Structures are given as structure tokens and as C-alpha cells.
Amino acid sequence: MEGQVIIRFSGWVSSSAGNVTTSVRHKIKFKSHVEVEEKGEVKSVEMEMKARTSLRIEKEHAVVGRVVVETETPLNLVTVSSNGGGGLRIRKTKLSHEMMEARSSTEGKVGEWGSTITDRQDSEGSVLLGEDGEVVWGTGDTKSTYKFRDEKKCYLRTVNMVGGKVEEDEESASCSAAAVVSS
């Protein structure tokens, strides 16, 4: 399934500084794909949303400012069920999702700035289910990475959970460390 929408609007204000017009354009694209295979034993979901918002400010027919925000949010999920013997079922799931956002701004001819944020989680887990669907046993691991970067600074934090316990929790203000994660 795919879809997209574009929303546009603008308005103006007459002030002692002159007429100021603000225009906004917002575009959203969405994709979704779901598969069920092997008589329901394997299920997979892929979704992605992309959005772009542009804001333009004009004064006396000249652009005096511009802001652009681009966002992307992919999600992937796969669940595999199998016979665990003795009436038990094993269910394994992998999930990854991410939010990436880039912002940029221009103010007249004076300057330009930008920033990016990335927030990602990769998880996988297993459960053993009894005949009645009751959870007999389960475990899971998650790795989370958060990265922020602009012209002045970088921030990176990684948290790694194994079997429900924190195995790693590191943060860094190093742009070189942030560059390694994005590779």
C-alpha cells in the first residue's frame, strides 16, 4: 500500500515593518508491505513514512527566511513461529525502527544552520508458549542508538540491553564517534 498527501497554505500580516507573508508546504509519503507465509508461521511488515515540511517567509517580495524539516521513519518486523515440541510453540521476533530528522534554516543572506537527529532501535526476542498461549519463558535484546549533530556539536548515546540487562550504556560528544555509527 502506498499513499501521499501534500498540504499547502499561506498567510500574510500587514505591519509597521511592511507586509510579511508566510507559506508552508507539507508533503507526506507512506509505504506499507505485509506478508504472511508458510501458513501463518512467518509474518513480516515493512513500513516507511517520509515527510518534508518547508516554511518560507517573504517581505516585500523577497525571501527573508526559510526552514526545511525532513523526516524519515522506517520500520521492519519479522515474526517466525515454530513447533517447540510437547505442545509448546516458539515465537521469535526481530524489530528495527528508526526516526531520522534533518533541519535546515536560512535567514536572509546572513547565515544558514542545520541539524540532524537519528534515533534507532534494533530488537530481537523469543518466547516459549504453552498449549493455552501462556508465556512459559522469554528473552530479548535491544540496541538503541541516539545521535544529534549540528555545526557546533555532536552527541551520541548507545544503550545495549541483553536478556533484559544493560550491557552497555555509552555516550560521547565526539563527532568522530558519531561519524562511525552513521557508516
Say if residue 181's pLDDT is above 70: no
Structurally, how many domains does the chain consist of? 1
Grid coordinates belonging to 70: 525532513
> d(Cα 98, Cα 29) in Å, to the nearest integer?
16
| pLDDT score at 12 | 93
| pLDDT score at 60 | 84
Cell 530481537 identifies what position? 124
Q: What is the mean pLDDT of the chain?
A: 91
> d(Cα 158, Cα 92) in Å, to the nearest integer?
24
Pick 164 or 7 by higher pLDDT: 7
Grid coordinates belonging to 127: 518466547
* Dihedral sign from CA coordinates of 151, 179, 49, 99: negative
Distances 83 to 40, 91, 94, 120 between C-alpha atoms, Å: 13, 9, 18, 32
Pick 179 or 166 by higher pLDDT: 166
Cell 498540504 identifies what position? 7
DSSP three-state, residue 39: helix
Q: At 17, is the pLDDT very low, low, confident or very high (cuts 50, 70, 90)? A: confident
* Dihedral sign from CA coordinates of 129, 125, 75, 43: negative
Neighbours of 40 (CB within 10 A): 9
Say if residue 86's pLDDT is above 50: yes
pTM for the predicted model, two decimal places: 0.79
Say if residue 178's pLDDT is above 50: no
Domain of 100?
Answer: 2-182
Say if residue 183's pLDDT is above 50: no
What is the tens place of the pLDDT at every residue in 92-150?
Answer: 999 999 999 999 998 866 678 899 999 999 999 999 999 888 999 999 999 999 999 98
Say if residue 4's pLDDT is above 60: yes
Quick check: 67 and 103 in contact, CB under 8 A? Answer: yes
